[in-house]
Amino acid sequence: MKSLKEESKMNKDTISVIDNRTGRQVELPIIQPSQGPAVIDIGTLYKELGYFTYDPGFLATASCQSEITYIDGDEGILQYCGYPIEQLAEKSSFIEVAYLMLKGELPKPDELKKFEDIIVHHSMLNESLKNFFHSFYHDAHPMAIMVGVVGSLSAFYHDSTDISKADHREIAAHRMIAKMPTIAAASYKHSIGEPLVYPKNDLSYTGNLLRMMFSSPCEEYEVNPIAEKALDLIFMLHIDHEQNASTSTVRLAGSSGANPFACISSGITALWGPAHGGANEAVLSVLKEIADVSRIPKYLEKAKNKNDPFRLMGFGHRVYKNYDPRARIIRDMCHKVLGELGSANDPLFELALRLEEIALKDDYFIQRKLYPNVDFYSGLIYRAIGVPSNMFTVMFAIARTVGWVAQWTEMISDSNQRIGRPRQLYVGPEKRNYVSPDKR
């Protein structure tokens, strides 16, 4: 990766910022990306003019440089290391894309085989971790268990926490990708009071997850190939999404030098929120609340009412303002899964499709460019394959772990990397003197 400072110095394109209050002027370099809008390097702004910049929610701020994911929200484009998501969804697999994310290139057949082998052989958990699951209350939310167990991995795997060593970083990345389905399934099994199921090395990544979640020691379990394929696709579509809230959280935590397991655990907490990964669970809650097609107009009005906190979950996106390319791909899979698994008559699915149709014709949604996002459909697929709604965000976390570790690894090896430390616009009281309790 090129040094941003060097690139900035070499760059002839600049933008002038003139302070109209003082007449002072600064030339800020414009840095060209390989795709997408150029960025202004504001590094000297404070030094030269004494100003910070203000951008709540980072709507117009690039927090880092990255070679992993490219998004054009206006055009509905998503690329992983340059490959369009549509091509990967048609021709590739989750595990192949995971390799792409970590290495930047698609694997040759022998490289893929080796990578699959490594991931499979890291999928078991340290036996002592089993006790950790048992100490959670029986009705704990599986995301709460995920946060705790993933954070605790650093206590078990000391040989992969030295972030200055490339081999430690790589083993930590492999361990997290491999162990996430085992931890997720164990969280679920604990919540329903069933014994934890060990991984089986001859199954695929998603086949293994399905077996660990749905098999019992009492009978044989056969992985349903449609469920396995649908999960593989959902996971691939969720693998990374550049600097979203959870990924930025992982990077920020990692910028202080925290160990990788702790960083991924912080990403899981950020993902949990309903405006981010928690949306897929919230979609189902909203559909259940609406309950009947006849009540859709009432709920659309609630969604439009500024005084009503209700939002139509699964609609809208921070960057995709025309459509979510992942939603288009997953919508087709959703129809296929529901057709093949015989859930097409599920009243919630009918309701979802009517809601999608009505909302897409509604002026409020059209004007604000609010389209169904990937989570609108992923929740419906999970429901069809028997995943309970409190596990939806956990499924998202399994897939996004690949993006988190790829972005974390990229950040650690970036020569521009410094501890993340945003500034603020202070609007609190000016300096004042302490008032003793009897005088307040």
Among 29, 181, 254, 314, binds ligand CMC (CB under 6 A): 314
Distance (Å, whole) CA 386 – CA 406: 30
Q: How far is the CB of 310 from ligand CMC (least distance, A)?
A: 8
Q: Write the binding mask 329 to 358 for ligand CMC: x where contact by CB under 6 A, - elsewhere.
A: ------------------------------
The phi and psi torsions of 109 (rounded to 5 degrees) equal -50, -45
Among 68, 145, 233, 279, binds ligand CMC (CB under 6 A): 279
Closer residue to ligand CMC (CB): 200 or 369: 369
Map tokens 């939002």 to a residue: 311
Map tokens 């996430």 to a residue: 180
Closer residue to ligand CMC (CB): 147 or 303: 303
> Strand pairing of 14-18 and 25-31?
antiparallel
Q: Identify residue 180 by its one-letter amino acid code.
A: M
Q: How far is the CB of 6 from ligand CMC (least distance, A)?
A: 33
Among 115, 315, 377, 404, binds ligand CMC (CB under 6 A): 315
Among 151, 277, 325, 379, binds ligand CMC (CB under 6 A): 277
Q: Which of 168, 240, 317, 324 is catalytic?
A: 317
Q: How far is the CB of 373 from ligand CMC (least distance, A)?
A: 4
Closer residue to ligand CMC (CB): 13 or 308: 308
Size of the site for ligand CMC (CB under 6 A): 20
Closer residue to ligand CMC (CB): 89 or 374: 374
Which element (helix H / strand E) includes 14?
Answer: strand 14-18
Is 346 tagged catalytic?
Answer: no
Q: Per this entry, what is the length of the chain?
A: 440
Instruction: Tell whether residue 360 is a contact of ligand CMC (CB under 6 A).
Output: no
Q: Which of 110, 375, 414, 438 is catalytic?
A: 375
Based on its alpha-carbon atoms, the radius of gyration of the chain, rounded to whole angstroms, reads 24
Contacts with 103 (C-beta within 8 Å, 6 or more apart), sequence order:
none
Among 31, 375, 383, 410, binds ligand CMC (CB under 6 A): 375
Among 169, 175, 276, 383, binds ligand CMC (CB under 6 A): 276
Contact criterion met (CB below 8 Å) for 85 and 326 = yes
Closer residue to ligand CMC (CB): 200 or 311: 311
Which element (helix H / strand E) includes 125?
Answer: none
Closer residue to ligand CMC (CB): 92 or 244: 244
Distance (Å, whole) CA 280 – CA 257: 32
> What are the start-end ranges of the H helices in 192-324?
205-214, 225-237, 245-255, 260-271, 279-290, 296-304
Please enumerate, as own/partner, the contacts of 78-86 that have beta carbons within 8 Å and a separation of 24 or more: 78/241, 78/325, 78/326, 79/35, 80/239, 80/240, 81/105, 85/237, 85/325, 85/326, 85/329, 86/325, 86/329
Instruction: Tell whether residue 325 is a contact of ligand CMC (CB under 6 A).
Output: no
Interface segment toward ligand CMC; rule CB under 6 A; list 16-24, 228-236, 368-376, 432-440: 368-376
Q: How far is the CB of 404 from ligand CMC (least distance, A)?
A: 13
Is 317 tagged catalytic?
Answer: yes
Instruction: Tell whether residue 311 is a contact of ligand CMC (CB under 6 A).
Output: yes
Among 374, 385, 406, 412, binds ligand CMC (CB under 6 A): 374
Tell which positions 201-260 bind ligand CMC, by CB under 6 A. Answer: 241, 244
Closer residue to ligand CMC (CB): 145 or 300: 300
> Strand pairing of 83-84 and 77-80?
antiparallel
Q: How far is the CB of 253 from ligand CMC (least distance, A)?
A: 18
Q: How far is the CB of 378 from ligand CMC (least distance, A)?
A: 9
Closer residue to ligand CMC (CB): 311 or 336: 311
Contact criterion met (CB below 8 Å) for 270 and 245 = yes
Contact criterion met (CB below 8 Å) for 232 and 206 = yes
Q: How far is the CB of 231 from ligand CMC (least distance, A)?
A: 17
Distance (Å, whole) CA 260 – CA 174: 11
Among 176, 268, 312, 384, binds ligand CMC (CB under 6 A): 312
Q: What is the DSSP letter of 136?
A: S
Q: How far is the CB of 90 from ligand CMC (least distance, A)?
A: 22
User: Tokens in use for 58?
Assistant: 């980072």
Give the C-alpha distances (Å, rounded to integers) separating 242 from 39, 78, 101, 271, 317.
16, 10, 11, 14, 14
Binding site for ligand CMC (CB under 6 A): 241, 244, 275-277, 279, 303, 311-318, 368, 370, 373-375
- Residues with a known catalytic role: 317, 375
